[in-house]
Amino acid sequence: MGKTVLILLNLCLLFSCGLSQNENEEHVYVINVDEAEKKGFSSMFDSVAYIPLETTDECEIGRISRVLYHNGKYIVVDELTNTVFIFTEDGRYYSKIQAAGNGPGEYAQMADIAIDKFEEKIEILDAMQVKVVSFDLDGHFTGETKLPVSPSPIRFCQVDRDKYAYDFERSFYEKEWQYNLSVNQEDFTGEISKFMPYDKPLSICFSSRVTLQDVNGEILFIPLYSPTVYTIESSELKPRYTFDFGDKWVSQEFIDTEWKDAIEFMNKLNNANFVHYFNMLESGSHIYGEFMYGENKYYLLIDKETGHRFLQQGMKDEKYQYEKFSMCCVGNQFVIPLSPVEYNSMSGEKACRRLAEAGVKRLFNCRKIIIRC
């Protein structure tokens, strides 16, 4: 029986990668795609560790789409079985949430998952039934909240005890709700703060991006087709980082195009020479980003203290990869799930050596395997 593994990376940028930086604006990073490195960067690791996740009759993981960490627990979303597994810090199975269905206390579609840090609950956003279903860390149902909006938000995150951020990914036709983000009580009662209005909804968009993140208590918002990352503070939205790709960023004309179907959209996207599908993750010490430029995938790492950056173009077999963003951070560590296929080909210290020697490029392949196998 195969084991799923979590890889823990400690990263340390010890060099300047030669990418330019705008010194006049503290949080603007100028990224020149043409200067991307085409070699491995294993020297960026302080250390690599791996945590085998326990496999039992109660816990057999199919395909991981998301990993979260909270109070010594790894919360693993398995999109294949529509189950949330909970593991201890050393990988022991702790509990699970398995309540797929259309009735009370059940979820039909896990669009997103969030942690209620105040009540110690796991909350699942069911986009099909337009509700939030809550469970404790032992996997027991604790309640649900119907959302009085349609269509459903796609992403959500707790901002403070009484407020949540909801990302609708430009899906509304009604003028009243043509905003990218709302911050309000979970059930949409009381005051509702709306941000980033738009003129018309998108005909097609990516739903696999993680647009709302909790970084050590700070809530980040990464809007669709935006090079700027924002911080949500109470009911305010403040710019945090801007990634300046110059004239290589996706054009407004492309964003506003009415597409005939998804095939036409993807063909145009993959043949266009502009940056798109930008994902990012922030740890205590680094910013990690990945994006597509034309048909190629790129990986970006930034040292928050020094501003040093490293940009790498992905391998040839990483073209056309728009997989779900399954990574998470624990302190200064990036955590990446590793498939049973990859785990079974390694063992003990040999695994760590091979991972360290191969560098992040190899780890990205591992993550791709677990999503697609």
- Judged against a pLDDT cut of 90, whether residue 22 lies above it is answered with no
CB-hemisphere CA count at 13 Å for 268? Answer: 15
DSSP 51: E
Percent of the chain with pLDDT over 90: 30
Using one digit for the tens of pLDDT, what is the confidence trace for 69-123?
A: 999 999 999 988 999 999 999 999 999 999 999 999 999 999 999 999 999 999 9
Using one digit for the tens of pLDDT, what is the confidence trace for 23-38?
A: 334 478 888 888 777 6
| Pick from 49-63, 187-201, 254-268, 345-359: least confident | 345-359
Confidence of residue 357 (pLDDT cuts 50, 70, 90): very low
CA pair distance 22, 240, nearest whole angstrom: 15
CA pair distance 135, 123, nearest whole angstrom: 6
- Judged against a pLDDT cut of 50, whether residue 42 lies above it is answered with no
CA pair distance 18, 27, nearest whole angstrom: 18
What is the DSSP pairing of strand 131-136 with strand 236-244? unpaired
Using one digit for the tens of pLDDT, what is the confidence trace for 252-269?
A: 788 788 888 878 887 887
Question: What is the distance in angstroms between the CA of the first residue and the CA of the last residue of the chain?
Answer: 15
Using one digit for the tens of pLDDT, what is the confidence trace for 117-147?
A: 999 999 999 999 999 999 999 999 999 999 9
- The CATH number given to whatever domain includes residue 152 is 2.120.10
What is the DSSP pairing of strand 93-97 with strand 83-88? antiparallel
Domain containing 40: what range?
A: 4-372
CA pair distance 327, 69, nearest whole angstrom: 10
CA pair distance 282, 284, nearest whole angstrom: 7
Residues 268-293, buried b or exposed e (16+ Cβ, 10 A)?
ebeebebbbbbbbbbbebbbbbbbbb
Domain count, the chain: 1
**pTM summary value:** 0.82
| Contacts by 116-122, CB closer than 8 A, 24 or more apart | 116/158, 117/70, 117/158, 118/158, 118/161, 120/71, 122/75, 122/84, 122/86, 122/97
Angle among Cα 165, 169, 173 to the nearest 5 degrees reads 110
Q: How is residue 114 written in tokens?
A: 């969030």
What pairs with residue 88 in β-bridges? 73
Q: How is residue 87 written in tokens?
A: 């593991």
Distances in whole angstroms, Cα of residue 116 to Cα of each of 160, 344, 353: 9, 35, 38
Total Cβ atoms within 10 A of residue 245: 19
CA pair distance 10, 15, nearest whole angstrom: 16
Confidence of residue 206 (pLDDT cuts 50, 70, 90): low
